[in-house]
Structure 1
């Protein structure tokens, strides 16, 4: 049976109260009497990694080291390959695929849409599937699947095959991101989560950047070998890289603290992991029922986080048209693939920076809002489209400076920590609905017939940045309102205990 609304809210309040403190698991907890001594003993790692490292026991630090090696290695490799395989359409398009498949009009946009539709469809189901099937099994199967279909794209002969293959790649890739976010949120606490999600998410722009370098190298060295065009070689190489990572996922991903069978964790470490997340207020999984969805949809959290994330996610859409603009400006094939990697490298740096600053300061809201404000400049330049080529190149390079996805998801993970099923559905819905909108919005605002200026597209993404700023402020107001209500409820509860135990009470 599902939890009652009262029990779920109590869990969430407990989680919020816990996360406001500074705790160490498996060791001693600092007290006011020894606070000064504890601060003096803070290690250098406490400043550059987890701020409460000095409060953790050696056993807990050893557990975290194992988890970091396993989850982040598999997560980063898998996400790197996902974005390498997802982004290679753009690289192939500007490297000869357009001409070989006789692509005209908006067929490139339709191929992107086929992928996006499939990707959006499986977001929510995937996080529900891993409530019944261990993530290590499910994600391994899905990753091997998308590797096979990536490889198959090397044999495409027409746009109909392109649409079909892109749909299948999107279908199999769809489970990885929301499921890994759920796994990360299941193991790590407030002082640990955002930077690890940031490192995980950093591999997305790195995968995109590497795709540009890889295509440039493939085009230069393999184009025409064995009668195969360079863009086809890209799909062959990517497919051969992806499948082994999928196989490794089965052996190394530790699932969740409540379901893990990881061979590298001892029984004591599994118990310690459960104790950590229990004390952090992270609820264990329960059976999903109709009442579960009624409870989730009866709260503001699902609506606010999904709307806010969709607005933010769609505001990041301008980057995908950098290579097309460079082609219109007659840059060489190599430069069309290499120059846009600068955007990806800047984005990768920013996503890690925002994540570390969020964990270090303890604020999620600030490090969602500040990057959005900074993004107004480059998106504004593209919206007004000045004549200066260097200025537009600067704007394209910095257009995704607001890539703070890690902080946004950490925020949702923690606000929903008291309800495991709500946390899973909210996270998957954020990504799923963003891709559902992305399935049709580019057709409307970025039709290929308007390239390279896209007079509807860039003004729209600029407006979406402004709308995202408003939405995250609204989320913060809801969070503050819930905290005030929790404090009032706690005060009323304490007042009731005093009246019963005091003079005239009948409990003594």
Structure 2
């Protein structure tokens, strides 16, 4: 702390930091200003701070959002590929499709907590993009598989590489943004994934009609090739765009004054600087209630099986099967952004989470009962599941804030919540 504090003695930066602190302690503002701040939170910032936040918005959010877009594109592409020829070409029968999902989940689960621990000693700007490159290679390999067992291996490594990503991004977001900024950015990042999910259906429909058979490859194989092509430049961009954390950043696109201001903003927000993982630190985290309560509480979505249901009805075309479920992703995108803006404007976290899960509970009960549920309500229930997922980044925002005073606890819980879910 003392080593970094020398960087913030410039009088101009101290003045800016003072204005930051006064805002965070609730200075009265006019109604017009409050409306402006709901729309976007930097309107009343000093020019220096506004420029800083704009920079980190551009670099962090472009990398995180585009990378997450491609990851969810890939995840949804599996089910879209399955209903677009993969099932027949690879002879995926019985429980083999579910095994594909399980192999991805195994890789995803086992990588998250170790990754978060390693990130206390390895730069995020090197760690995350390197896993992105592995993800690209395995995605290309997926387009060449000949048997379900080869696909099992690919799905495991895709999950392994992807598991390092989500908690690391929330670690970065919590390290750079203040309470009035964080939920919006977390929801913008999260919403981008469902643009990928939505785009996947349209992409598969287009590839099925336009690329099927080109170069001797089925349309579903082209889907994974496109995934890799889209993601490769994003992985390279990560080496430039990812700034580590304010206490360790060395990116060229921030000046020394901006780095000092970023550090001061976080210190004023009560976020403690980083500490490397040790056995003693892990014991400290595990002995507190935060780890156990937040890890147990976090929930995920109930699954994306609408296209499989539509295929089983034998009344819809392949393009229709791929595109009709995209409405769920549209619902998620809209509700996620509403949650983010509302959460930051009102500084509420848990009520938003409770609301979203209540809507999803209603939908889940209908889908669980199934027999006797009207056909139209089944459609609506699949679409209503989109209300739940957008509360995930609000929950992660809450974890970032509650655990702000213990950097290792914050990182471990961001990993354990998603992993256990």
2:4 match: none
Equivalent position of 1:305 in the other structure: 294
Asked if the contact 1:124–1:429 (Cα under 8 Å) also holds between the matched residues in 2, the reply is yes
* 1:301 aligned counterpart, secondary structure: helix
CA distance in 1, matches of 2:197, 2:27: 46
Out of 160, 164, 167, the position equivalent to 1:175 is: 164
Within 5 Å, give how 1:369-388 maps onto structure 2: 369-385=354-370, 386-388=372-374
- Match of 1:27, SS? helix
Structure 2 SS opposite 1:265: coil
Equivalence for 1:497: none
Deviation at 1:77, TM superposition (A): 0.4
Give the Cα–Cα distance (whole angstroms) in 1 for the partners of residues 203 and 363 of structure 2: 27
Task: Quote the residue 2:39 is aligned against.
Answer: 48
Task: Give the match for residue 325 of structure 1.
Answer: 309
Task: Give the secondary structure class of the aligned counterpart of 1:359.
Answer: helix
Alpha-carbon distance between aligned partners in 1 of 2:149 and 2:256, rounded to the nearest angstrom: 52
Query: Which residue in 1 is equivalent to 2:228?
Result: 239
Separation of aligned partners in 1, 2:403 and 2:77: 35
Q: Does 1:356 align with 2:345?
A: no
- List structure 1 segments (4+ residues) > 4 angstroms apart after TM superposition: 28-31
Q: What CA distance in whole angstroms lies between the structure 2 residues aligned with 1:373 and 1:387?
A: 19
Under a length normalisation based on structure 2, what TM-score does the superposition of the two structures give? 0.92
Shift of 1:29: 5.8
- What is residue 336 of structure 1 aligned with on the other side? 321
Contact preservation (8 Å) 1:375, 1:402: yes
Gaps of 5+ in 1: 1-22, 435-508
Give the conservation status (yes or no) of the 8 Å contact 1:26–1:59.
no
The 5 Å alignment of 1:478-489 reads none
Structure 1 residue 30: Cα displacement: 5.1
**Distance in 2 separating the partners of 1:306 and 1:123:** 13
Q: CA RMSD in A?
A: 1.8
Contact 1:206 1:345 in 2 (8 A): yes
**Counterpart check, 1:416 vs 2:403:** yes
Could you tell me how far apart the structure 2 residues matched to 1:41 and 1:324 are?
A: 49
1:347 aligned to 2:320?
Answer: no
Q: Distance in 2 between matches of 1:337 and 1:213?
A: 7
> How far is 1:152 from its partner?
0.9
Aligned length, in residue pairs: 402
Deviation of the 1:174 alpha carbon? 1.4
Contact 2:359 2:385 in 1 (8 A): no
Which structure 2 residue ranges, 5 or more long, are not aligned? Answer: 1-14
Work out which of the two has the higher radius of gyration on C-alpha atoms and give 1 or 2: 1
- Once the 2 structures are TM-superposed, how far is the Cα of residue 126 of structure 1 from its aligned partner? 1.2
2:262 corresponding residue in structure 1: 273
- Residue 254 of structure 1 corresponds to 243
Structure 1 stretch displaced more, 225-234 or 368-377: 368-377
Give, in angstroms, the shift of residue 388 of structure 1. 2.5
Partner of 1:81: 70
CA distance in 1, matches of 2:401, 2:174: 8
What per-residue deviation string (whole Å, max 9, x for no partner) do you get for residues 443-490 of structure 1? xxxxxxxxxxxxxxxxxxxxxxxxxxxxxxxxxxxxxxxxxxxxxxxx
TM-score w.r.t. length of structure 1 = 0.76
Q: Does 1:27 align with 2:24?
A: no
